[in-house]
A and B are shown apart, each in its own frame.
Chain A
């Protein structure tokens, strides 16, 4: 039996326990290490297979890019909300996606929800289409292209699927 069947989750549990108690004292370190080792051992049998992160550096760069996009998205949406709403042209858009893993689709859908003017609404059963609602639909083809280029390509590279 491996000591760390889920290394990333172990690290996450360790950090979250220290954050919850807001201390780095020796006692909490020991307790955090205990949880980080035992909880993954207990729940390892219950989880589905997820693709591994193949390129961690690209993942970090992706997260930073998304954080920057969230900032611009917020300002953009705030301006749209305050501005004249008669001029807004909302619309549904179907975006073709070719990510096969559930985790990849979830990350893509969440990113789309957090970035400018779009909320993901549904994924088709065959996992080939992501339906989104746009607050202001200027150019449908351009929006689809920007989602595919900016978000889908790095996710495909990170998870390698």
Chain B
């Protein structure tokens, strides 16, 4: 394997691995479910893209022709990650999971749950 290809594969693998680790670390570290949602949807998506890119370059070299079928998984994950995050957020809201105390606009939560327009502030 030529050196420049090996460097490309190694760098994208390392970036991917680092982001996957950060995504899972955020899942453990962040304090409430709504904040935890952010780390897997974003960090893990980039992480998996890095690993898939490395796999694409490596398989292309192995087979001797351009192999871009890994793009299918990347595209699929890019499309499904926000949908999954949205459904989990809906589930958490539906079960009235309490957000962190310092969360702003907590009054919105009930209107969000009932899918209504926000009420004007009462004062």
Contact = CB atoms under 8 A, between A and B. Distances in A.
Q: Do chains A and B touch in the complex (CB under 8 A)?
A: yes
Interface of A: 16, 19-20, 22, 70-71, 73-74, 77-78, 81-82, 85, 88-94, 109-114, 117, 119-126, 128-129, 131, 133, 135, 137, 140
Contacts of B111: 124
B35 A113 contact: no
B117 interface: yes
Given A77-B39, A77-B42, A114 B82 contact: yes
Nearest to A133: B34
The B interface is mostly helix, strand or loop, or mixed, namely helix
Contacts of B57: none
Interface residues of B, number: 50
Nearest to A21: B69
Given A109-B86, A119-B38, 12 more contacts: A20-B69, A22-B67, A74-B43, A90-B103, A92-B99, A92-B108, A110-B83, A114-B45, A114-B82, A119-B34, A121-B89, A125-B116
B92 to A, nearest CB: 9
B72 A19 contact: yes
Contact of A110 (B29, B79, B109, B117): B79
B40 to A, nearest CB: 10
Contacts of B113: 122
Interface string B32-68: 1011011101110110000000000000000000011
29 contacts: A16-B72, A20-B72, A70-B45, A74-B45, A74-B46, A77-B38, A77-B39, A81-B29, A81-B43, A85-B29, A88-B35, A92-B103, A92-B109, A94-B108, A110-B83, A113-B81, A113-B85, A113-B86, A114-B78, A114-B81, A119-B34, A119-B37, A120-B82, A121-B89, A122-B89, A124-B115, A124-B117, A125-B115, A129-B118
Interface core residue of B71, B83, B117 (most chain A CB under 10 Å):
B117
